[in-house]
Amino acid sequence: MEPQELDAWAGAAARRLGVSLEPGDVSALLDLARDAAHGVTRPAAPLTAYIAGMAVGSGRTLEDVARELRVAIAEAAPGDGD
């Protein structure tokens, strides 16, 4: 799927659910999911995106949420001393 198609699909899905996406949200969420998949485990990607959505839905900014989740991902990464 091309980036434009993905943006279009995400916009349509968001409208169907009565929510809006800001410019850059799709790539920011995909980057966060990639970081979770590579830094924790692949199944962490959709779970991290869901958690991010819950936090944004409660009023936090995606930028703030992504920053906090990246800290959590870094702390969960293998080889961090655990």
What confidence score (pLDDT) does residue 1 get? Answer: 76
Q: What is this structure's pTM?
A: 0.85
The yes-or-no verdict on residue 26 having pLDDT over 90 is yes
Model pLDDT for residues 34-82, shown as the tens digit of each residue: 999 999 999 999 999 999 999 999 999 999 999 999 999 999 977 544 4
What confidence score (pLDDT) does residue 79 get? Answer: 57
Name the nearest CA neighbour of 33 among 62, 1, 4.
62
Q: Tokens 């590579």 map to which residue?
A: 38
Q: How is residue 77 annotated by DSSP?
A: S
